[in-house]
């Protein structure tokens, strides 16, 4: 038999823990290789609590945060958390970290910079290796490492982030699109980063994020894919990965009606960004959180609706 295809599934902690654990059970029973637990503190139950509970009731399933970030927890807390989970699921745990998306936007901040990613990944890897990290003059190490390796992967979507992942992490979770041209281009960036640290892509674990949907018919599945295709393929990364996929689209104009629903200008590339202010989203009671995302806009929308 050829090398098997491993399949992991994203699990949002949006249902009560008892239901969530039944879902974890079903994922392991179905034959999945791993479960990635969403880390978005305002939307999903705590990633590491869920991972710990899942570790205690599974025997085979790989487990990882999907994905955590370097700003809602200190690097020492992240290392402690994943090391603790690993004690409950020896050899089944990965650590996956990215720049943050809704974990950032729901608390009114921007995703982490690549410099922050480098620093956090370096600190976590050092701690998990049983070595000491210098915290502004205060050295510290984990007092309870297992000695088993916990791979540290970086989630990446853009070329620079992919190269950083190849350079500093044990592997990469690539959110780029599932297309031959895209895969080849992404691997070029990953290889470029790996070379900076004297490695090759073959030295890294690479996980490919794939957007999926199931439906009774292909037409229905395509229909359900459209919002995701527009958001991820065009708006969020400016269509960067369309060219290697051989896709050309005309200049995108966002109708005013859409602006009133979701504040997406932050994600638009230069040249497609609208200059008009998004005042319609600045009516929440917490100005610092206003206009950050559709999530921050939802309370104001709900209040508007209730007044009608």
State the minimum distance, in angstroms, from the CB of residue 133 to another protein. Answer: 29
- Does position 145 bind another protein by CB under 8 A? no
Buried b or exposed e, range 36-53, using 16+ CB within 10 angstroms: bbbbbbeebbebbebbbb
Element (H or E) spanning 97, and its range? strand 95-97
Tell me if 230 contacts another protein by CB under 8 A: no
- Name, in order, each residue with C-beta under 8 angstroms of 135's C-beta and a sequence gap of 6 or more: 76
Q: Which two tokens stand for residue 104?
A: 């950032």
- With CB under 8 A as the contact rule, which of the stretches 106-114, 128-136, 204-212, 275-283 interacts with another protein? 204-212
| Site pattern 163..202 for another protein (x: CB under 8 A) | ----------x-x--x-x--xx--x---------------
Degrees to nearest 5, angle at CA 27 with 217 and 95 = 115
The footprint of another protein on residues 52-111 (CB under 8 A) is: 66
Closest CB 274 distance from another protein, rounded Å: 25
In the complex with another protein, which residue's Cβ is closer, 228 or 304? Answer: 228
Closest approach, Cβ 225 to another protein, in A, equals 6
Query: Could you tell me which stretch among 110-118, 123-131, 142-150, 205-213 binds another protein (CB under 8 A)?
Result: 205-213
CB atoms under 10 Å from CB of 247, counted, come to 15
Give phi and psi for 247, each to the nearest 5: -110, 130
Of 11, 81, 123, 235, which one interacts with another protein (CB under 8 A)?
A: 11
Q: Tell me which of 17, 19, 57, 302 binds another protein, using CB under 8 A.
A: 19
Strands of 171-174's sheet in order across: 95-97, 152-156, 171-174
Phi, psi of 41 (to 5 degrees): -60, -25
- Of 32-61, binders to another protein (CB under 8 A) are 32, 34, 36, 38, 43-44
Binding mask 241-280 for another protein (x = CB under 8 A): ----------------------------------------
- Rounded to 5°, the CA angle 178-60-213 comes to 30
* DSSP tag of 253: -
* 100: phi then psi, degrees, rounded to nearest 5: 90, 140
User: What is each CA distance from 35 to 12, 74, 78, 210, in whole angstroms?
Assistant: 10, 24, 18, 14
| Binding residue (CB under 8 A) for another protein from 3, 136, 253, 256 | 3
Identified binder of another protein from the candidate list 208, 252, 254, 282, rule CB under 8 A:
208
Footprint of another protein (CB under 8 A):
1-12, 14-15, 19-20, 23, 26-27, 29-32, 34, 36, 38, 43-44, 66, 173, 175, 178, 180, 183-184, 187, 205-214, 224-225, 227-228
């Amino acid at each position: 038999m050829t090398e098997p295809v491993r399949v992991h599934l994203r699990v949002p902690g949006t249902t009560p823990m008892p239901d969530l654990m039944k879902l974890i059970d079903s994922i392991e029973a179905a034959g999945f290789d791993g479960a990635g637990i969403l880390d978005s503190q305002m939307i999903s139950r705590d990633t590491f609590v869920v991972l710990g509970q899942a570790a205690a009731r599974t025997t085979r399933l790989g487990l990882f945060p999907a994905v955590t970030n370097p700003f809602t927890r200190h690097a020492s807390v992240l290392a402690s958390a994943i090391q603790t989970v690993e004690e409950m699921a020896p050899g089944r745990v990965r650590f996956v970290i990215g720049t943050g998306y809704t974990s950032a936007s729901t608390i009114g901040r921007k995703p982490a910079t690549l410099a922050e990613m480098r620093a956090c990944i370096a600190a976590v890897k050092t701690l998990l290796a049983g070595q000491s990290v210098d915290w502004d003059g205060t050295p510290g190490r984990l007092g309870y490492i297992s000695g088993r390796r916990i791979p540290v992967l970086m989630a990446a979507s853009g070329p620079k982030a992919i190269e950083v992942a190849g350079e500093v992490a044990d592997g990469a979770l690539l959110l780029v699109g599932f297309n031959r041209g895209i895969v080849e281009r992404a691997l070029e960036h990953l290889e470029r980063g790996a070379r900076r640290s004297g490695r090759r892509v073959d030295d890294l674990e690479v996980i490919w994020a794939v957007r999926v949907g199931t439906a009774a018919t292909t037409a229905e599945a395509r229909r359900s894919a459209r919002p995701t295709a527009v958001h991820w393929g065009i708006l969020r990364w400016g269509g960067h990965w369309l060219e290697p996929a051989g896709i050309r689209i005309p200049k995108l104009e966002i109708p005013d009606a859409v602006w009133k629903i979701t504040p997406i200008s932050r994600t638009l590339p230069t040249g497609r960004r609208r200059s008009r202010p998004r005042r319609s989203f600045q009516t929440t009671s917490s100005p610092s959180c206003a206009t950050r995302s559709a999530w921050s806009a939802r309370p104001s929308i709900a209040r508007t609706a209730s007044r009608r």
